[in-house]
A and B are shown apart, each in its own frame.
Chain A
C-alpha cells in the first residue's frame, strides 16, 4: 500500500501538471468559442438589419390554409416571348453555385430546367444570397423573378435563351442534404467514360427509384410509355374494338402450369393470370367481336435476363375474323405501325432526350409490315451458318441474328414471323390446314426481340379437347373454358404485347427494368 502511495505522489504531481495544461487549453477554446459566438451574434444583428428578410425563407408546411391567386408558370413555358415579365414558379433546386455576391441556381421542373440568378442588389440582400446558396439539392422552392433574355445561350439548360432574375425565394419542401445518388451521374452516357466520371449502376438506381425517376431520361421514357398505351387505345377504339377488364386471379393456368404464381384463396388455391387469354376468348364467344385489354400479367419464370419481369403490363388483343386469320394479323400489325408512327410524330423530344444518354438508330418499319414464314427464317439462318431443325424453336441468339439479317435485307426493325411449328405453341393454337406440323401462329419482333406472340385459336370444342388431351392437360380444370365454345363460337385470333418490351425496344434500350417504373423480378420486390 505505502509503496503504492509513495509512487502515487509524483504521479499526482505529474497529473496536476497535465491537468493545468488541459485547463489552459480549455480556457483558450472557450475564449475562441465566445469570440465566435460574438461574431455570430454580430452577424445575427446584421440579419436583423436585413432589408430583404420578407423575400426569402422557409415556408410553413402547406396544409391548405389559403388559396392564393398566384399563377405558377411551368418552366417549359419560359421562353423568349416571356422576356422581362415577372413570374412565379415552383421547381426543384437542381444545383446551386455561389460566387461572391451572386448565386446561380438551376431550377428543374420535370425534364425542363432554367438558370436562376440571385444577385445582391435593390431587391436582394447579402443574407438572401447566402440563404439561396445553402438550399440543399432537390429541395422544392417557390420563386418569383424577372425573365431576362441572355446574350450567350445557357447550354446546360433546356430553356437556354432566358434566365430568371430571382427577387423572392421560399423553400416549400427541404430535401435532406445527402442524396443517395446524384442526378447528374445518373444521366451521364455510359460510353462517355474518357473523363472517368461516375455513373450510377442499375441496382442503385432501382433501390432509389423515385430519385432516378426524376432524371430527364426517366421522365422521357415514361412519358413515351404512356404514349404507347394512349396510341394503342386510340387506334383500337377507332377500329371499333371494345376495352374489357378481366380477372387476374384465376383457377387454372392458361399456358402450361410451370411458370405460374400460386396464391392461397380461402380454403383452396388460385393462380395469378399469365395472360388474359381465356377471358378475352370468352368475350369473343359472348359476341364482343373485337376486344382489347390493358392490365398486369404475371410470369413465375425464374429467369434473370435483361428482358424478363415477373409482373408486367400486357396489351392484349382478340378479334373474330371471317375466313382467314391473316385478317387479324394485318389488324394487329397495323395497330403497332400506328403506335410507331404516333411515337415518331408526337414524342420526338422524348426520343431525343433518351437518345442523348442511350444513343441508338431511329426505329424503322415498313408499311405494310413484312411477313416472313417460319421456314423462310430457318433458311435465312442456315445460310448464315446456323444449324437448326425445321421444327426447332428459335433460341434467343438466333432470334437476334435473324433480326439483324432481316434488317440488312429488308431495312426494317419490325416484322412478323408466321407459321410456327405446332409443337412449340400452346394447346389452343390452330394447326395449319396444309401441314399439321405447323400452326396458324405468329410472333412479332422489334429490333430482333419478340414483343408479341399470337395465333388463331381453336374454336371447336372437340378439336380443343383432343389437343389438350394430347398435351396431357387436365380437362376438368379447363372445363369452363372448353364449354364456352359449345354454343356457337366464331373463328378468332389474337395476340398479347408486353408494354415494357415495346418501350424498351422502340428506344433501343438494353434492359426492360429501365422501362418498368417499379420493376418486379425474381430478386426484386421493393420498392
Chain B
C-alpha cells in the first residue's frame, strides 16, 4: 500500500498536479471515493486534463486499459525468476515494432508499466538487458521521457551490442 501511495504521488508530479494526498483510497471532491491503483491513476489523468494519456481513439483507449490491467494482474503478481522471464519475453515480442505500448503515442500505460517493471529491469544483467533488447529500448526511452522517472534510479543501458551470441 505504501508503495502504491508513493507511486501515485509520483504520478501526480508527472502529471503536474499539486499533491491531493490520501491515496490509494481517494476521496474525490464530487461523488464517491475511488479505490485501486489504475482507477485512481486514470482519475488523476482526467483531473490533470491530460485525457490524451488514456488514448485518443476507442481502439487506443482499449489498449491502454488492457495494459493497465496487465500491470496489476501480471507484473505485480510475478515473484519467481521464471515469471519475470516470461513477462520480459512476452513484452519483448510485443514491443518489437512499437515505440510506445499503445502504438505511436505516449500513454498512461507506458508510465504505469515503467513503474512496475523498474525493480525487475534494475536487477537484470547487461546480458539479459541485451536479450530483451526491445524492452530495454522502450524502457530507456520512457525513463528519459520528461517527468516520468521522478524518484526512480536511472538504469544504464549500453548502446552497443556486447553479447553477439545472445541472439
Q: How far is the CA of A312 from the CA of B131 in the complex (A)?
A: 35
Closest A-chain residue to B126, C-beta based?
Answer: A401
Pair B156/A404 contact, Cβ less than 8 Å: no
Q: How far is the CA of A401 from the CA of B130 in the complex (A)?
A: 12
| Residue positions of A touching B, CB distance < 8 A | 361, 383-385, 397, 401, 404-405, 407-408
Tell me the minimal C-beta distance from A190 to chain B in angstroms.
14
Tell me the minimal C-beta distance from B154 to chain A in angstroms.
9
Pair A384/B164 contact, Cβ less than 8 Å: no
**A383-B156, A401-B126, A405-B158 provided; 18 other pairs, C-beta below 8 A?**
A361-B164, A361-B165, A384-B126, A384-B156, A384-B158, A385-B155, A385-B156, A397-B125, A401-B162, A404-B126, A404-B162, A404-B163, A405-B162, A407-B162, A408-B158, A408-B160, A408-B161, A408-B162
Q: Which residues of A contact B156 (CB under 8 A)?
A: 383-385
Interface residues on B, range: 10 to 19
B142-167 CB mask vs A (1 if < 8 Å, else 0) is 00000000000001101011111100
Interface SS, B side: loop
Tell me the minimal C-beta distance from B163 to chain A in angstroms.
6
Closest A-chain residue to B163, C-beta based?
Answer: A404
* 22 pairs of residues in contact across A and B, judged by CB atoms under 8 Å: A361-B164, A361-B165, A383-B156, A384-B126, A384-B156, A384-B158, A385-B155, A385-B156, A397-B125, A401-B125, A401-B126, A401-B162, A404-B126, A404-B162, A404-B163, A405-B158, A405-B162, A407-B162, A408-B158, A408-B160, A408-B161, A408-B162
B15-59 CB mask vs A (1 if < 8 Å, else 0) is 000000000000000000000000000000000000000000000
Tell me the minimal C-beta distance from A388 to chain B in angstroms.
13
Minimum-distance CB pairs A-B, first 10: A385-B156, A404-B162, A408-B160, A408-B162, A384-B158, A384-B156, A401-B126, A404-B163, A384-B126, A405-B162
Q: Which residues of A contact B165 (CB under 8 A)?
A: 361
Tell me the minimal C-beta distance from A215 to chain B in angstroms.
24
Q: Which of B125, B126, B161 has the most CB of A within 10 A?
A: B126
Q: How far is the CA of A407 from the CA of B161 in the complex (A)?
A: 10
Q: How far is the CA of A383 from the CA of B158 in the complex (A)?
A: 9
Q: Which residues of B contact A407 (CB under 8 A)?
A: 162
Q: Which residues of B contact A408 (CB under 8 A)?
A: 158, 160-162
Q: Which residues of A contact B158 (CB under 8 A)?
A: 384, 405, 408
Q: Which residues of B contact A361 (CB under 8 A)?
A: 164-165
Q: Which residues of B contact A383 (CB under 8 A)?
A: 156
